[in-house]
């Protein structure tokens, strides 16, 4: 069973006078489930995401264990963690087409024709059939977000991390994209950690949302 588990995670800035700004955080996420983590600005939401992904800043240290599928990730480099990351900006490679952006992160063991078939099928699910040869600068914000999500999920991660991916969209596109992400996670059967400050994002959590303010020290 795919599972993310954080055990006694504490985060602090590397300074003699600094104390942990998050202390003894514990959580579990099962297959196809979303867990929302929220808190005020500056509480450490993005820092938590970065630590799990392995992209944390040099001046940030942490204690505790990050476990995915029974494997401790603490000392495993980012490229071997098998984690998909979807940021607020939903950044795409500007010099690549939609098809090339998605193709880039896919399993290298798949044959090219199989990759292209999967891309076509998933673009249909995203209501973006025919967008294969479009470039990011020709897409709307909502369209870019859907492509970024497809790229993250189709890379076959064992965990998906979402860092406020809906906040840059207008309300109409935000709700549509939120539902699209939920369906992709459920279909892919991977655990998902969502950090947010949006009340609507808290409601999609399968478990009781975690308030990071309660872990401030």
Helix (H) or strand (E) holding 66: strand 60-68
Q: Tokens 């959590």, residue? A: 205
The mean pLDDT of 79-107, rounded to a whole number, is 90
Beta bridge partners of 7: 65
Q: How many residues can be counted in the chain?
A: 217
Fill in the DSSP letter of residue 40.
S
Q: pLDDT of 154-165, one tens digit each?
A: 999 999 999 988
Helix (H) or strand (E) holding 159: strand 159-163
**Average of per-residue pLDDT values in the chain:** 90
For the chain, the distance separating the N- and C-terminal CA atoms, rounded to the nearest angstrom, is 34
What whole-number distance in Å separates Cα of residue 35 and Cα of residue 195?
8
In this prediction, residue 150 carries a pLDDT of 92
* Whether 70 contacts 118, CB under 8 Å: no
Res. 189: pLDDT tops 70: yes
0.85 exceeded by pTM = yes
Q: pLDDT of 169-188, one tens digit each?
A: 888 778 888 888 898 898 88
Domains of the chain as residue ranges with CATH:
4-215 (3.40.50.300)
The CA-atom distances, in angstroms, between 16 and each of 11, 12, 13, 19, 25 are 14, 10, 9, 8, 22
Helix (H) or strand (E) holding 194: strand 192-196
The mean pLDDT of 78-89, rounded to a whole number, is 86
Q: pLDDT of 113-140, one tens digit each?
A: 999 999 999 999 888 999 999 999 999 8
């Amino acid at each position: 069973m795919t599972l993310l588990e954080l055990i006694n995670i504490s985060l602090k800035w590397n300074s003699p006078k600094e104390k942990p700004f998050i202390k003894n955080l514990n959580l579990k996420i099962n297959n196809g489930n979303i867990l929302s983590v929220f808190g005020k600005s500056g509480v450490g939401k993005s820092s938590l995401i970065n630590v799990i992904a392995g992209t944390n800043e040099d001046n940030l240290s942490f204690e505790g264990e990050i476990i995915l599928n029974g494997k401790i990730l603490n000392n495993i480099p980012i490229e071997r963690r098998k984690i998909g990351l979807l940021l607020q900006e939903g950044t795409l490679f500007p010099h690549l087409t939609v098809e090339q952006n998605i193709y880039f992160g896919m399993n290298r063991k798949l044959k090219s024709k199989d990759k292209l078939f999967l891309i076509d099928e998933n673009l249909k699910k995203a209501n973006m059939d025919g967008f294969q040869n479009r470039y990011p600068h020709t897409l709307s914000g909502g369209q870019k977000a859907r492509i970024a999500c497809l790229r993250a999920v189709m890379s076959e991660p064992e965990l998906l991390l979402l860092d406020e991916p809906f906040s840059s969209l207008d309300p109409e596109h935000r709700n549509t994209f939120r539902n699209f992400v939920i369906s992709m996670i459920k279909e892919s059967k991977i655990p998902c950690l969502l950090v947010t400050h949006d009340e609507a994002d808290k409601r999609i959590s399968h478990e009781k949302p975690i308030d990071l303010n309660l872990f401030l020290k």
